[in-house]
Amino acid sequence: QVQLVESGGGLVQPGGSLTLSCAASGIIFSSNTMGWYRQAPGQQRELVATITRGGITNYQNSVKGRFTISRDNAKNTVYLQMNSLKPEDTAVYYCNLENYDVLSRRYAYWGQGTQVTVAS
């Protein structure tokens, strides 16, 4: 029902920057949250940042001040600007969309993931 297509991953040196994009298509409710999660090898998937349709953001503490999440509602696209990247930011980054219906039931969708590698 919802398709998420990510782009923008790659290899970057420590201290560098990358921007991830995720375009959503399909049935997207007027009440939704989009976000980014990441999973490093041997680790659990963890929240990086989320943003509501109204622009309310939430960040993992370790990325505050370095990463910025934004969205273009007209394009159903979410972005993650990542600055001052560290080797510990290396992971597969997954785009997430959560639709909320009139009963506040949540429907979650995931992208296929994009690799971000921070190394010199």
Give the per-residue pLDDT at 65: 97
The pLDDT value given to residue 49 = 98
Take residue 68 and report the two structure tokens written for it.
């910025």
Half-sphere exposure of 25 (CA within 13 A, CB side): 4
> Residues 10-27: pLDDT tens digits?
999 999 999 999 999 998
User: What single DSSP character describes residue 41?
Assistant: T
Residue 16: the pLDDT is 98
Return the structure tokens found at 99.
Answer: 């639709």
* pLDDT tens-place string over residues 43-101: 999 999 999 999 999 999 999 999 999 999 999 999 999 999 999 999 999 999 999 99
Cα–Cα distance for residue pair 4/25, rounded to 1 Å: 7
Distance of CA 120 to the CA centre of its chain: 24
pLDDT band at 28 (very low <50, low <70, confident <90, very high): confident
pLDDT at 9: 94
